Amino acid sequence: MSAVNTLEKSEVTKDRSGVVNNFSITVSTVNGSGSQTANLTILRAIFKMGVPVSGKNLFPSNIQGLPTSFTIRVSKDGFLARREEQEIMVAMNPATFQKDIEGVVPGGVLFYPDDLKIPISRDDIVSYPMPVKQIIKEAGIPSERRDYVANMVYVGVLAQILHIDIDKIFSALDFHFKGKATPIEMNFMVVKDAAKWAAENLVKKDPYRIEPLNLTSGYIMADGNTAGALGAIYGGVHFVGWYPITPATTMPEMIQEYLPKLRKDPETGKNTFAVVQAEDELAAIGMTIGAGWGGLRAMTSTSGPGLSLMTEYIGLAYYAEVPIVVWDVQRVGPSTGLPTRTAQGDLIFANFMGHGDTQNVILLPGSINECFEFGWKAFDIAERLQTPVIILSDLDFGMNQWMAKPFEYPDTPIDRGKILWEEDIEKLKGNWTRYKDIDGDGIPYRTVPGNRHPLAAYFARGTGHDENGGYSEDPQVWHDLLERLKKKFEYAKRILPKPVITQGTQHEIGIIAFGSTEPALNEAQYLLSEKHIPCDIMRVRSIPFSQDVGDFIRNHDRNYVVELNRDGHLHKLLMLECPDWATHLISLAYIDGLPITANYICESIIKREENNHG
């Protein structure tokens, strides 16, 4: 569950209209200008002040020179989803200046560099010009660094005007630059100079400010890719085969960064893992499957286009029963689509991917903590079930900073599933076959290369095979093996993460969702309850669905299925799950590349409800 759920309800006062600790700041710049450092600094400083905060980076798919914006939501109530309204705009980019100004709410605030010679078209907002160039120049910054630290000017000015604690800004910079004195000092000097300039030259005319709270202590900030990477490391990942693709790239990069720190072999000091950058996704998945078959905890991470390329090999892993973990950090598709925007559009594909009868275990983390948790648990599930596990995250999780509870050490030991070693085969007197269902759960026993028992080996293949793994075209053999796989997936339902249900009481209305829409969902639930439309929420966390999913659905007359895609993927899968209740499922699918807002959910439901009753 995300931070928002876990704030003690008593601590917060539900006040969405206030101006203290309750507004959004958008910084509009060009990418490649180093503004990410400035924006994260503001975000972290507010967080350190104890005020719940979230940041979303809306960036273009190129490297330098195009408009980019970063929105910080400050919410004493812990509502951290995207909002449509912008109270405070820092408009640094002449190219989008007009549009940026238009986006500010009446009574809102505009910060802008004073050398921008564009008339300000609004008189219902407060404007603060900032002498960016002058401050940088007077600070004596060497000219080749000026561009990069220029953004610290707005950090300083905002700190002064919005009452952001300057010490916390220092901590944020210290963290960002990993304690490296030179950049910290250079940046902090600019912040201080700018704050000083603002104190001396600007008169506060707007009502917005940050006041310290203590709502974030005990929380951490992290992005989902880092969380997933760390989860994998605690899951004992041995092998990562990957290929770069936005927004998945930082996951293997973080694995590579943290593995050496966390995973030196306590006995030998050597590496207990290998991370290989493949030549493409066809190879990345091939390596991963080879490693999984070899008895390693193997994973890859990719995004839509890569997942599409992996289709055939994942089908083989399904049929040959090879445990692997595939992270799909979703971006907007079809095709290359919008590489730097978020979506939940790969769900139905992940479910049905591959020719022939296939099925995949899918995990759907709905918080940073679940990215970590599923990061390790996925290996246990994959090895237990001997099948690919696909984890669907998305860009919003993967690349944005979220408040989260501290990561929890895995609460169960590593489960390597049914692997037989030399002594096991010996005990069985060699009496084992690779693909036989011994335990009635549909899951056979396996051996892995390196097992030196003369009867341990078998020949794995994607072609028809019998219980021994021997090649077979026998109709009955084919049929029976496929039925066993189905049985295995029935068993899977028992061990996969159950849905998270908020308020189990029976209501007319259920809202069903998955993944990163979680904060918006909670906020929507609150908003709807204010409008006297109470509803229950179910956040689905895995496929195949367990019994609980159907139960929740059948307990509600109208189930709104909220998701970030066009075709209502979850909606469709749920209809197939509950054909008897299919007409009680209503799709609220929407896709435009932006994270969903509570308002959208709320208004869509109100509209439908009115139609229903009207």
Partner 1 sequence: MANQTAVRTQLNLIGLSKADYRGNPSTLCQGCGHNSIANQIISACYEMDILPETIVKFSGIGCSSKSPAYFLNRSFGFNGLHGRMPSLATGALFADCSLKGIGVSGDGDTASIGMGQFKHVVRRNMRLVYIIENNGVYGLTKGQFSATAEMGLTLKSQGTNPYMPVDIAWEALVGHATFVARSFAGDPKQVKELIKAALSHNGVAVIDIISPCVTFNNQDTTLHSYAWGKEHEVALHELSYVPPAEEITIDYEEGEDKEVILHDGSSVILKKLERAYDPTDRKAAMQVLEEANAKNILLTGLIYINTEQKSLVDIYNLPDTPLNRLPEYRIRPSRESIKQLNDMMF
Ligand X SMILES: Cc1ncc(C[n+]2csc(CCOP(=O)(O)OP(=O)(O)O)c2C)c(N)n1
Q: How far apart are CA 513 and CA 528, in angstroms?
A: 16
Asked if 30 is part of the footprint of ligand SF4 (rule: CB under 6 A), the reply reads no
Asked if 233 is part of the footprint of partner 1 (rule: CB under 8 A), the reply reads yes
Q: Minimum distance between the CB of residue 357 and a second copy, rounded to whole angstroms?
A: 4
Which of 255, 326, 585, 596 is the binder for a second copy (CB under 8 A)? 585
Residue 248 gets which letter from DSSP?
T
Q: Minimum distance between the CB of residue 563 and a second copy, rounded to whole angstroms?
A: 11
Q: Minimum distance between the CB of residue 151 and ligand SF4, rounded to whole angstroms?
A: 19
Asked if 61 is part of the footprint of ligand SF4 (rule: CB under 6 A), the reply reads no
Q: How far apart are CA 417 and CA 406, in angstroms?
A: 28
Q: How far apart are CA 281 and CA 263, in angstroms?
A: 26
The helix (run of H) or strand (run of E) holding residue 157 is helix 152-162
Asked if 463 is part of the footprint of a second copy (rule: CB under 8 A), the reply reads yes
Give Cβ neighbours of residue 599 (< 8 Å, ≥ 6 apart).
83, 84, 524, 527
- The per-residue DSSP string of 480-542 comes to HHHHHHHHHHHHHHHHSPPPEEE--S--SEEEEE-GGGHHHHHHHHHHHHHTT--EEEEE--E
Q: How far apart are CA 42 and CA 172, in angstroms?
A: 8
Which of 239, 327, 349, 545 is the binder for partner 1 (CB under 8 A)? 239
Could you tell which of ligand X, a second copy, partner 1, none binds residue 443, using a CB distance below 5 to 8 A set by kind? none
Which of 355, 429, 532, 613 is the binder for a second copy (CB under 8 A)? 355
Do the Cβ atoms of 235 and 297 come closer than 8 Å?
yes
Q: Minimum distance between the CB of residue 269 and ligand X, rounded to whole angstroms?
A: 33
Asked if 481 is part of the footprint of partner 1 (rule: CB under 8 A), the reply reads no
Could you tell which of ligand SF4, a second copy, ligand X, none binds residue 460, using a CB distance below 5 to 8 A set by kind? none
Per-residue contact track with ligand X, 291 to 310, x per CB under 6 A? Answer: --------------xx--x-
C-beta closer to ligand X: residue 349 or 376: 349
- The per-residue DSSP string of 360-427 comes to -EEE---SHHHHHHHHHHHHHHHHHHTSEEEEEEEHHHHHS-EEEPPPPPPSS-----SB--HHHHHH
Residue 481 phi/psi, 5° resolution? -65, -45
Asked if 337 is part of the footprint of a second copy (rule: CB under 8 A), the reply reads yes
C-beta closer to partner 1: residue 369 or 559: 369
Chain positions 514 to 553 lying near partner 1, rule: CB under 8 A, are: none
Which of 10, 63, 355, 413 is the binder for ligand SF4 (CB under 6 A)? 63
Q: How far apart are CA 373 and CA 262, in angstroms?
A: 17
Do the Cβ atoms of 100 and 76 come closer than 8 Å?
no
- Strand residue runs (E) in 93-172: 104-113, 126-130
Asked if 32 is part of the footprint of ligand X (rule: CB under 6 A), the reply reads no
Chain positions 368 to 427 lying near partner 1, rule: CB under 8 A, are: 404, 406-410, 413-414
Which of these, 68, 44, 82, 76, lies nearest to 396 by C-alpha position?
A: 82
Do the Cβ atoms of 403 and 46 come closer than 8 Å?
no
Contacting range for ligand X; rule: CB under 6 A; set: 93-101, 240-248, 435-443, 508-516 = 240-248
Asked if 478 is part of the footprint of a second copy (rule: CB under 8 A), the reply reads yes
Q: Minimum distance between the CB of residue 239 and partner 1, rounded to whole angstroms?
A: 6
Q: 23 in helix, strand or coil? A: strand
C-beta closer to a second copy: residue 526 or 581: 581
Which of these, 206, 256, 247, lies nearest to 229 by C-alpha position?
A: 256
Q: Minimum distance between the CB of residue 61 and a second copy, rounded to whole angstroms?
A: 7
Contacting range for a second copy; rule: CB under 8 A; set: 15-23, 142-150, 302-310, 516-524 = 302-310
Q: Which two tokens stand for residue 172?
A: 């944020």
Q: How far apart are CA 465 and CA 156, in angstroms?
A: 68
Which of 4, 245, 362, 538 is the binder for ligand X (CB under 6 A)? 245
Give Cβ neighbours of residue 413 (< 8 Å, ≥ 6 apart).
none
Asked if 215 is part of the footprint of a second copy (rule: CB under 8 A), the reply reads no
Q: Minimum distance between the CB of residue 389 and partner 1, rounded to whole angstroms?
A: 16
Interacting residue ranges for ligand SF4, rule: CB under 6 A: 63-64
Interacting residue ranges for a second copy, rule: CB under 8 A: 60-61, 303-305, 307-309, 311-312, 315-316, 318-320, 328, 330, 332-341, 343, 345-346, 348-349, 351-359, 461-464, 473, 475-476, 478-479, 482-483, 486, 565-567, 572, 575-576, 579-580, 582-583, 585, 590-594
